[in-house]
Copies of this chain bind each other. A is one copy, B any other.
């Protein structure tokens, strides 16, 4: 047993979700993979347990995962964002939701217009859910590398609720990511847009660009 909060990764069978789940499970957090399809959730959970030599990752339907968890992290594709939130509204009341959605228009890698995806989430979920925007720029590939190494990107955390932001900064750091509070929820549109900048940069040069903050002492 652990005193650490239970983390649900909603839409956790995609590209980003399993990497985050793996890092938190490895750090000792009870983790639930959520999916619209229970069998897909269970299959991803079983894969992660096998890879890590653990049995602490479970798979559940998204709504049940959100109800059981202390903190939920939404990692659905951008086209599923609003529908997922509407279906999870009841389950998330009184809880903390981390929204990792970055909306980027392809093929031109154009930055999204406000409001931020996380602001849209807050508007759908209502004031009794503490919505925090984070992990939008973290490449799935970076998470899956050596678990003993820190992730080579910094996490910018935006929320109107400072306490909720601080919990997510702590959670990111537990997963091996440097993380920084970066202002209120509306600032999250900038963090989404950074994904567009990095895509343009990657195309012009070579590599997989990530953002890092320097000059700040915590």
User: Is A206 a contact of B210 with CB atoms below 8 Å?
Assistant: no
The contact of A108 among B184, B202, B209, by CB within 8 Å, is: B184
Residues 162-216 (chain A) with a chain B CB within 8 angstroms: 180-184, 186-187, 189-191, 193-194, 196-202, 204-216
On chain B, the residues within 8 Å of A156 by CB distance are 197, 201
Which has the most chain B C-beta neighbours within 10 Å: A108, A194, A212? A194
Chain B neighbourhood of A158, CB < 8 A: 197
Interface of A is mostly: mixed
Q: Bound state CA distance, A108 and B218, in angstroms?
A: 20
Distance in angstroms from A185 CB to nearest chain B CB is: 11
How far is B143's CA from A157's CA once the two chains are assembled, in angstroms? 28
Query: Does A161 belong to the interface (CB within 8 Å)?
Result: no
Identify which of A12-20, A23-31, A71-79, A110-118 touches chain B: A110-118
Number of copies: 2
A41 CB to closest chain B CB (Å) equals: 31
Q: Are B187 and A190 interface neighbours, CB within 8 A?
A: no
CA of A209 to CA of B158, assembled, Å: 16
In the complex, how many angstroms separate the beta carbon of A190 from the nearest chain B beta carbon? 3
**B211/A183 in contact, CB under 8 A:** no
- The answer on a CB contact under 8 Å between B209 and A211 is no
Of chain B, the residue at the smallest CB distance from A169 is B204
Tell me the nearest residue of chain B to A116, going by C-beta: B111
Which B residues are CB-close (under 8 A) to A199? 183
- A199 to B209 Cα, complex, angstroms: 23
Q: Closest 4 A-B residue pairs measured CB to CB?
A: A183-B200, A190-B193, A182-B197, A209-B216
With contacts A110-B187, A184-B200, A190-B197 known, what are 6 further pairs, Cβ within 8 A? A111-B187, A158-B197, A181-B201, A183-B201, A190-B193, A208-B215
